């Protein structure tokens, strides 16, 4: 299970920094950090880079959050979207 939720070092949820960087970059993929910062060594450095990105251009994290909220509530057909739209259904697609 730890292998599933950990980065290369085995620390649980270490790979969240990858997703956070993508969010801070305007809603990019979690893989984007490796394109934009190929020399980033660990999650502490990726967090530092993400917060630097937020300080330099705070509108990017806002647009990223809005993008993912839109995807969550309106684009993907999940139980959450169907409940949000007033329909009662228990399965997901």
| CB within 8 Å of 26: residues ≥ 6 apart | 60, 61, 63, 64, 67
pTM: 0.69
> Can you state the angle between helices 43-56 and 59-70, rounded to 10 degrees?
110
d(CA 17, CA 30): 8
Q: Could you report the per-residue pLDDT of 47-56, keeping only the tens digit for each?
A: 999 999 999 9
Distance CA 21, CA 53 (A): 8
**pLDDT tens-digit readout, 63-85:** 999 988 887 777 655 555 444 44
């Amino acid at each position: 299970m730890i292998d599933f939720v950990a980065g290369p070092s085995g620390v649980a949820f270490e790979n969240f920094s990858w997703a956070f960087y993508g969010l801070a970059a305007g809603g990019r993929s979690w893989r984007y950090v490796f394109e934009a910062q190929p020399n980033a060594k660990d999650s502490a450095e990726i967090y530092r880079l993400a917060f630097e990105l937020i300080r330099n251009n705070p509108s990017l994290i806002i647009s990223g959050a809005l993008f993912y909220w839109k995807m969550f509530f309106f684009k993907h057909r999940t139980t959450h979207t169907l409940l949000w739209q007033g329909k009662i259904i228990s399965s997901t697609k």
